[in-house]
Amino acid sequence: MAVKEDTRLTALEVMRDAPVIPVIVLYDVAHAVPLARALVAGGIRMLEVTLRTPQALQCIEAIAKEVPDAVAGAGTIRSAADAQASALAGAKFGVSPGYTRSVGKACHDIGLPLLPGVATGSEIMSAQEDGYTQLKFFPAMQAGGLPMLKAWQGPFGDVTFCPTGGISLANAPDFLALSNVACVGGSWIVPTDAIAKGDWGRIETLAREASQLKR
């Protein structure tokens, strides 16, 4: 299934919408809609629902159908089949933990904007060869953090990154201050315990804090 042309985003639009893209893990479909509404109320619209649980695709579908102000995306895309299933569920963008040509081609063919994961210069070059210049730097802290992103500003000055992995409210401003960073990915605004308890007010507050970060 291809994403409809009139609703298609670009990867850069996804990255520039807010300073943070939440990295969401959901185990209960009933949590999807109230979580999305809380995040939107806090100023966060681009929602990365990771394909780490059996319920993930149903959660994406519920958000896509019931929360029109949210933009549901699929994270942890690792195969062409993942990309297809995500688009069928209503995802408007995809995020992958790494990059393969087959995943890149599948997303291109169905019109699903993709933020491919990279951790090395060679991976950046592979993604660029296939037309991808908006990339997820993952796992950011473990793969070199701020010094690595600063080092990449020279040889990869035409690439924009979304560092993800070990990002928090405390260190996000340092990443967002870099010229080659458009946003960060983070799970701190969607704590597992808050989701389990249905504490949507706490999540809205965390989202509002994140949406006001400077970049």
Q: Could you list the active site residues?
A: 48, 136
Distances (CA, A) of 75 to 57, 166, 197: 10, 16, 23
Q: What is the 3-state secondary structure (H, E, C) of 98-141?
A: CCCHHHHHHHHHHCCCEECEECCHHHHHHHHHCCCCEEEECCCC
In terms of DSSP bridges, do strands 20-24 and 184-186 run parallel, antiparallel, or are they unpaired? parallel
Cα–Cα distance between 214 and 47 in angstroms, integer? Answer: 19
Whether the ω angle into residue 113 lies within 30 degrees of 0, i.e. cis, is no
Contacts of 103 (CB under 8 A, 6+ apart): 77, 78, 79, 80, 82, 83, 96, 114, 116
Cα–Cα distance between 150 and 175 in angstroms, integer? Answer: 10
